[in-house]
Amino acid sequence: MTKLLNIIIIVLAVALIAVILYPQIQESRPKTVRFACDSSVSSLPFLVGIEESLFVKNRIIPELVFYSDPDQALQDLFAGNVEVGAFPWSTVFKRMLTQHETLKVFMSENFRQSLPVDAVVVLAKSRIKVLSDLKKKKLGYPPQFRDYVKPFLRTINLQGEITEVEFPLSALTSKLRSGEIDAAWLLEPIICTLDTSEFHILQEGTLPKYVSAPFPGTAVGFNPVLISKKVLLSRLKISTDAAVALVETKPEKAKLILGKYFSDCKNDCKLCRIPELQRLVGINKPAVSALATRLKDSTSVFNSDIETKNIFVEPVRLTR
């Protein structure tokens, strides 16, 4: 009887230990994280994290999911099809207004006027020499800029005077070349590949100059359902902070990584300009708020005030 009792005690002890340790074991295992990104320089932190094994070192198995439409990408994030992503700030604002869903942001990308990553481009042989010459012309733009076209045209007094045409970023130069559009609003790494004998940059840094300055280009964040997964979020922050550090200290290496993913700029990515990457504590929150106000004042899509303070992750959520 005593022997049987001892066996029962041992079995119960083992079971108790298993119950206590199992969640910790599960939590320590590598986790798959799907990253929503586009074919632009905004995806650079994710690409660097993958190529330098920064995610793997922190027990994250990264999977890239490319989108041409940022609205669809954010919709998929809230549907649970991806966990983390890089999105235009306007896309984040729209989701808040239309679906009452808020991306939890832990990084932002600043598009600087001093090192512009966007530009309006025309053919070198074009008669369009200044922005006002765009009147009655066709302006092509990528989905990333769809919410910024009207504020831009309003600032240069051409609202309603230009035909706006949306194409995927990768298709814009061919559309310009074929004459389907008269000007193209581009984003790196497309600009660095341009043949200057064929294309002419009409205006660099259009977003910070004519839409909002300083211009918060991209929000990097995750699905709010992850907010309780502190260990995973800590790994994510460590990995992305390391990626940002590499971009800051070794920009030429980061550009080579960009060229590995986007073959069109493989030989030219050393000329690519990259945005300023702002970690959570360094995000220019007044600039984000100013952009939200600018969009509300410039387009009917944003028809009410946007409260931005609840967008940003509390730093304590990203530590174990």
Torsion angle defined by CA atoms of residues 166, 170, 172 and 177, in that order, rounded to the nearest 10 degrees? -150
Res. 6: pLDDT tops 70: no
127-148: average pLDDT: 98
Condensed to tens digits (0 to 9), the pLDDT of residues 25-67 reads 445 689 999 999 999 999 999 999 999 999 999 999 999 999 9
- Average pLDDT along the chain: 91
Those residues whose C-beta lies under 8 Å from the C-beta of residue 7, and which sit 6 or more positions away, are none
What's the CA gap between 241 and 54, in Å, rounded? 10
Residues facing residue 166 across a β-bridge: 141
Q: What is the predicted pLDDT for the residue at 299?
A: 66
Mutual angle of helices 89-99 and 70-78, in 10-degree steps: 50
Per CATH, domain 30-111+215-318 is 3.30.470.20? no
Give the per-residue pLDDT at 212.
Answer: 96
pLDDT tens track for 192-221: 999 999 999 999 999 999 999 999 999 999
Residue 278: pLDDT above 70? Answer: yes
Q: Per-residue confidence at 269, pLDDT binned at 50, 70, 90?
A: confident
Residues 158, 164, 169, 173: is their CA dihedral positive or negative?
A: negative
**Beta-bridge partner residues of 111:** 215
Q: How far is CA 301 from CA 172, 191, 216, 265, 295, in A?
A: 25, 29, 19, 35, 8
Q: How many residues does the chain have?
A: 320
> Could you tell me the fold of the domain covering 118-211?
D-Maltodextrin-Binding Protein; domain 2 (3.40.190)
Q: What is the residue extent of each domain of the chain?
A: 30-111+215-318, 118-211
pLDDT tens string 243-268: 999 999 999 999 999 999 987 776 77
Cis peptide before 30 (omega within 30 of 0): no
User: Is the pLDDT confidence value at 19 over 70?
Assistant: no
pLDDT score of 11 more than 60: no
pLDDT at 26: 47
Topology match between the domains 30-111+215-318 and 118-211? yes
Read off the pLDDT band of 18 (50, 70, 90). very low
pLDDT (mean) for 264-285: 89
Q: CB–CB of 292/108 below 8 Å? A: no
Please list, residue by residue across 277-311, b when 16 or more beta carbons sit within 10 angstroms of its beta carbon and e when fewer do: bbebeebbbebbbbbbebbbebbeebeeebebeeb
Token pair 């294309």: residue: 199
CB 289 within 8 A of CB 311: no
Residue 137, pLDDT above cutoff 90: yes
In this prediction, residues 85-94 reach a mean pLDDT of 97
- Proportion of the chain above pLDDT 90, given as a percent: 81
Residue 10 has pLDDT above 70, yes or no: no
Distance between CA atoms of 132 and 158, rounded to whole angstroms? 8
Neighbours of 188 (CB within 10 A): 28
pLDDT above 60 for 14: no
Q: How confident is the model at residue 305 (pLDDT cuts 50, 70, 90)?
A: confident
Q: Is the pLDDT of residue 309 over 60?
A: yes
Residue 86: its pLDDT value, please? 98
d(CA 200, CA 125): 8
Gap between the Cα atoms of 45 and 241, Å rounded: 9
